[in-house]
Homo-oligomer: A and B are copies of this chain.
Amino acid sequence: MAKILNSSCDSCSKYGNGCCKTCIAEHKSNVFAPLTDPELEFLVEEKKQIIYNKGETIIKQNTASTYVICMNDGLAKVYVESDNGKNVIVRIAKPGDFITGGGLFNGSVQHFSISAITKVKCCLIDSAKLTRLFAENSDFAVTLLRNHIKQGNYLLNKLVNHTQKYMPGRVADTLLYLKNDIFNTDSFNVPLTRQELAEMSNMTKESFVRILHQFKDSKAISIKGDTIKILDESSLKTISKNG
């Protein structure tokens, strides 16, 4: 079970002692950047920092939740569970990411699930506090809105990519996403199963494997155990582009 770190956690229980301030310092683009120190204090004063083990569910689709989540450490998958039992992984959440469910200001019901793909440390913040801060700090509202607009653009792009591209283009997109948005290195250890990589790419695991090995054969990537190395990014970009 996920365990709650109580307030004796000296690095995280309170702003001023580490966690939240560090979060914001480390992740410049964080939505909390516009907040003043007292505002930040108010926001985090009752927050809960939770640790989830690999595989644990952080948010469950179709259940109510009034928390917004601030990722602190580890990786999580944000995914939609469809009626036919297949999952669609929408994105990977990484440290510094701020996740507001589809229920924010909107009935509290979550429109996607989130689960830990590695050990995850994250803060749960009561979403009612956001509303209060809007009244004091409109820059914060703008930042949060900008965040959601970017999210919308990302989804729009994903919609087009997943419906218009052939499988090789979608696999290339997934690999480029992992390299450039998640790990920021050419070579990375993938904590996701082939099934999950396939769910990111909108195809079956068998199809994903086949195309991955095509890329390996054409020297665009190398695979050693769980480690994938991008050898020829421009080649992948070309494949991504023409579909």
Q: Using CB atoms and an 8 Å cutoff, list the residues of chain A in contact with chain B.
A: 80, 82-84, 86, 88, 90, 100, 102, 104-106, 111-112, 131, 134-135, 138, 141-142, 144-146, 148-153, 155-160, 162-164, 202, 241-243
Contact of A111 among B105, B134, B153, B242 (CB under 8 A): B153
Q: Is the CB of B145 within 8 A of A80?
A: no
Q: Which residue of B lies closest to A110 (CB)?
A: B153
A-B contact pairs, 7 of them (CB 8 A): A80-B159, A88-B164, A106-B153, A134-B138, A134-B141, A145-B148, A163-B163
Q: How far is the CA of A149 from the CA of B144 in the complex (A)?
A: 11
Given contacts A131-B142, A155-B155, contact A148 B148 (CB under 8 A): yes
A158 to chain B, nearest CB (A): 6
Q: Is the CB of A102 within 8 A of B152?
A: yes
Given contacts A149-B148, A155-B159, contact A241 B106 (CB under 8 A): no
Given contacts A141-B138, A145-B144, contact A102 B162 (CB under 8 A): no
Candidate in A138, A146, A152 with the most chain B CB atoms within 10 angstroms: A152
Contacts of A153 in B (CB 8 A): 102, 106, 111
Contacts of A138 in B (CB 8 A): 131, 134-135, 138, 141
Q: Is the CB of A156 within 8 A of B155?
A: yes
Contacts of A146 in B (CB 8 A): 104-106
Contacts of A164 in B (CB 8 A): 82-84, 86, 88
A90 to chain B, nearest CB (A): 7
A228 to chain B, nearest CB (A): 24
Contacts of A135 in B (CB 8 A): 138
Q: Which residue of B lies closest to A151 (CB)?
A: B152
Contacts of A82 in B (CB 8 A): 160, 164
A236 to chain B, nearest CB (A): 15
Contact of A88 among B84, B112, B149, B163 (CB under 8 A): B163
